[in-house]
Chains A and B, each alone.
Chain A
Amino acid sequence: MTVTASAPTDAPKATQVLGIETSCDETAAAVVESGSVLRSSVVSSQVELHALYGGVVPEVASRAHLDLIIPVVSAALAEAGQQLTDIDAIAATHGPGLVGALLVGVSAAKSLALVCDVPFVAVNHLEAHLYAAFLEDADLQLPMLVLLVSGGHTMLVLMQGQLRYRVLGATLDDAAGEAFDKVARVIGLGYPGGPAIDRLSTQGDPCAVAFPRALAKQGWDFSFSGLKTAVANHVRKNPNVARADVAASFQEAVVEVLVEKARRAAREFGVGAICLAGGVAANSRLRARTAEVCAADGLRAVIPSRAMCTDNAAMVAAVGWHRLQACGSASLSTGASPSLSLLN
């Protein structure tokens, strides 16, 4: 099933969706045509702003979103070579995320929709991550298994069809990205922890320390809090341990659990492809190991570019198009839904 082929055959004009994403610390806007053709994608990261505090500060994020929203939207339109009058619908993330941050994007999107007299579409951020891969390969076959791993979420999702999925498992405690940030702090690396551990691991031995692999062989849920504690204890007991070895061994443990579980699920549910999504999917070792395992098992590895894995608005516009076709527009009285979950 291809995304483009499902567009109405009697519609000669392609639908241009402007997407807006402000759920955490990236202010982003993008224009996507018919759900999968990327016209532009602009992401203004606030990561340096939050690095000063060692983590995301909600009030700092909300303030930055307000300062950046107009410049980012106008840059996305300019990059797409379009005017607001060319846009057929406005989609924005309404959850999950930081409430004050979400409200900036939702308010901007509803305002544009009302002024331009086009539909407003409220998008679930997690669903948006599931659709990022389609922006680089519109012909992806479903069903496929998506490993959605980020700072706030760790999920194994069976994507059965367009807008149809089953959440097989999720983290019982820390998200994978959260574990990266916490371990980075323990071994004295800065924020954000993910890229720092990824870099340092290239100089370390992934087999140096046998950290625990919680739940690797049972069920579909994840747990990373024990691993994080094991790393902290190991560093306390061995103050002179090579940090690169700790980073590489920790990363190996996370990646092994994630990939083994996805591999088992692919076998059990008879799915032919494993897709990575979310900020942690930018991790080099996770990408390499997923490719290896898929090659060994005869599965297709769908590994989007790093820009599509981390937060962006193109994935929001893509889902916006699908939601608009399937459910129509959302009400202009939509607010933020900070703890929205991925519903089946």
Chain B
Amino acid sequence: MSTQPKQPKQPTQLMQPTPPTYSSPIILGIESATSRVGCAIGTPLGILAARESNKPRQHAESLVPQIAEILDEAALSFTDIDALAVDVGPGLYTGLRVGITTAITMAYALDKSLVALTSLELVAHAIRSPEHSYEQIDVVIDARRGEVFHAAFTSALKPISEATVAKPEDLAKKLAQEVPNTCLVGDGVEAYQAIFAQAGLSTNNATIYPSAETSVELAVAAVLANKTTEPAKVRPLYLRGPDAQPIVVPTRS
């Protein structure tokens, strides 16, 4: 990336004629917790450029080139960025690590702070239907191996529960008893639709994935509220211990 000052291009999502400068802070958001990988750059006025791809196991191949592309498209250089945002999970471990490594390394190199967001809050905040009459929002993300990641939010998006990992059957039973009128959302609902439907829960919402655009929106607010983290302190939210099986053939050298 060149560090020379560039003239901003027309941001696509601004409603008014383009102002001559961007509003601050400028955030680079990185998302890689699910089978999708993406990034976005934006300001309090909106998203300037974004990419997302859905090629399984191609997170590492896709992400850094995507970031180069959106900076070019937004006519910005790395030095223009005020902070980075990253989804720390829970999610698919390898994808998560690619995104977090990229975010913390870039933040370290740029000496910028980071905003760490959970995949569950990113999905909750992406719900854009104010007319719904649900009691609460339950985000359910596919954790593979027959499990889901879960967290509950009020309809005003305040977190109610910590992020946990659960069997979909157990979660469905608990929610059906406690909050039958909940808004279930996330790719875990799609993956275990029959189980949630059988428990009498509504599974009609479109699947929402955590996205880099949402992370930029949330990070703008966090940066303005001074809620940032040092890059070296960011840790993934795994929610499960590592499989403790040593490889049969040790490859250490």
**Which chain A residues have a beta carbon within 8 Å of chain B's beta carbons?**
23-25, 47, 50, 53-60, 62-63, 66-67, 69-71, 73-74, 84, 96-100, 103-104, 106-108, 110-112, 114-117, 125, 129, 150-153, 174-175, 177-178, 181, 192, 278-280, 310-311, 332-336
Q: Is B197 in the interface zone, CB < 8 Å from A? A: no
> Which listed residue (A54, A71, A278, A280) contacts B232, Cβ 8 A?
A71
In the complex, chain A residues whose CB is within 8 Å of the CB of B67: 114
> Which listed residue (B58, B98, B235, B246) contacts A107, Cβ 8 A?
B98
Q: Is B126 in the interface zone, CB < 8 Å from A? A: no
Query: A55 to B253, Cβ gap below 8 A?
Result: no
- Chain B interface: which size bin? 35 or more
Query: B1 to A117, Cβ gap below 8 A?
Result: yes
In the complex, chain A residues whose CB is within 8 Å of the CB of B104: 69-70
> Which listed residue (A23, A47, A57, A332) contacts B246, Cβ 8 A?
A57
Query: B100 to A66, Cβ gap below 8 A?
Result: yes
In the complex, chain B residues whose CB is within 8 Å of the CB of A108: 101-102, 105
Within 8 A of A (CB), among B75-115: 78, 93-94, 97-98, 100-102, 104-106, 108-110
> Which listed residue (B58, B78, B105, B109) contacts A335, Cβ 8 A?
B58
Query: B109 to A151, Cβ gap below 8 A?
Result: no
Query: A151 to B250, Cβ gap below 8 A?
Result: yes
Query: A111 to B253, Cβ gap below 8 A?
Result: no
CB distance from B246 to the nearest CB of A (A): 3
In the complex, chain A residues whose CB is within 8 Å of the CB of B110: 115
> Which listed residue (A23, A111, A153) contacts B101, Cβ 8 A?
A111
Within 8 A of A (CB), among B39-72: 58-65, 67-68
**Which chain B residues have a beta carbon within 8 Å of chain A's beta carbons?**
1-3, 58-65, 67-68, 78, 93-94, 97-98, 100-102, 104-106, 108-110, 231-232, 235-236, 238, 242-247, 249-253
- Find the A residue at minimum CB distance from B240: A59
Query: B60 to A336, Cβ gap below 8 A?
Result: yes
Query: B102 to A333, Cβ gap below 8 A?
Result: no
26 A-B contacts (beta carbon < 8 Å): A50-B246, A54-B246, A57-B245, A57-B246, A57-B247, A58-B247, A59-B242, A59-B243, A63-B242, A66-B101, A69-B104, A69-B105, A74-B108, A98-B251, A100-B97, A103-B59, A103-B60, A107-B64, A107-B102, A108-B102, A112-B105, A115-B1, A117-B1, A117-B3, A151-B250, A335-B58
CB distance from B52 to the nearest CB of A (A): 16
Query: A152 to B249, Cβ gap below 8 A?
Result: yes
CB distance from B109 to the nearest CB of A (A): 4
A58 to B247, CA, bound (A): 7
Main secondary structure on A side of the interface with B: helix
Query: B65 to A55, Cβ gap below 8 A?
Result: no
Query: B93 to A62, Cβ gap below 8 A?
Result: yes
Given A57-B242, A103-B98, A115-B109, are A67 and B251 neighbors across the interface (CB < 8 Å)? no
Query: A152 to B94, Cβ gap below 8 A?
Result: no
Query: A115 to B106, Cβ gap below 8 A?
Result: yes
CB distance from B235 to the nearest CB of A (A): 7
In the complex, chain B residues whose CB is within 8 Å of the CB of A54: 246
Query: B60 to A107, Cβ gap below 8 A?
Result: yes
